[in-house]
Amino acid sequence: MSVAILYDSTKCIGCRECEKACAARWKLPYNDSVAAEEQISAHKLTSIQTHGEHYSRRLCMNCIDPTCASVCPVGAFTKTALGPVVYDQDKCIGCRYCMLACPFQVPTYQWTSRLPIVRKCDMCYERVSQGKPTACAEACPTGATTFGEREQLIAEARRRISEKPQDYYQRIYGVEEAGGTSVLFLSAVPFGQLGIPTNLPKTPLPMLTWRVLSRTPDIASVAGVLLGGVYWITHRREKVAAEEGRKGERK
């Protein structure tokens, strides 16, 4: 069984109870100032965003085939069989490749901490592994955020679109994007109008990562030759200059 979150923008009233519940789950500060920040950060792992009369949510999409895990050189990120992508801070070396690779620009870094770590939503892995819903889904008063088995949520999303086609943009975001995600979106307007990336391929992005990495030996070989040439030229110039200097002294 793989679990997921379904966020239905048409049901969201912008109450930010999901933000508050997320902060409590992570023991992070939450006040009016934090609530006003409509972006995710190291101290805010989910955020409600306002787009005119519509709302959207930002959080880790917990991809089916996560790029963050594919680029991490120490295995600090793991895609669990249950669905969430979890992070082991004890393994992390702070390279931040995950931040560069994530197509949704989710992982954040504790820049001001003496012992910084990467922060991101892990879909309340501890809770869901115990059979509980995510904190955000449990706190949502309108059903805008729901939690359950991924296939059942996809079926529910299709049912909503079918029963009220006038209320929905005819697509479920997250079914195929970047190979599929464990967070699904419904909206009344095209997803691009909610600031959600719409140019992602259907192919899992780690496939592209491996294509690049498979060429690394060739790239490294060429780079080695070039760097060796640069070193030889530089060293040769220094040697010639030294020889000319000694000749000048003898004269």
Q: Where are the domains of the chain?
A: 3-204, 215-250
Residue ranges of the alpha helices (H) in 125-193? 125-128, 135-139, 150-163
Structure tokens at 55: 């709302």
State mean pLDDT over 40-46.
Answer: 97
pLDDT value, residue 223: 42
Helix (H) or strand (E) holding 14: none
> Each residue of 221-240: pLDDT tens digit?
444 444 444 444 444 445 54
Per-residue confidence (pLDDT) for residue 73, from 0 to 100: 94
Model confidence at 4: pLDDT above 60? yes
Are 180 and 63 contacting, i.e. CB atoms less than 8 angstroms apart? yes
Angstrom distance (rounded) from CA 118 to CA 12: 29
The amino acid present at 120, given as its one-letter code, is: K
- Does 3.30.70.20 match the CATH number of domain 3-204? yes
Band (pLDDT 50/70/90 cuts) for residue 242 is low
Phi, psi of 186 (to 5 degrees): -120, 145
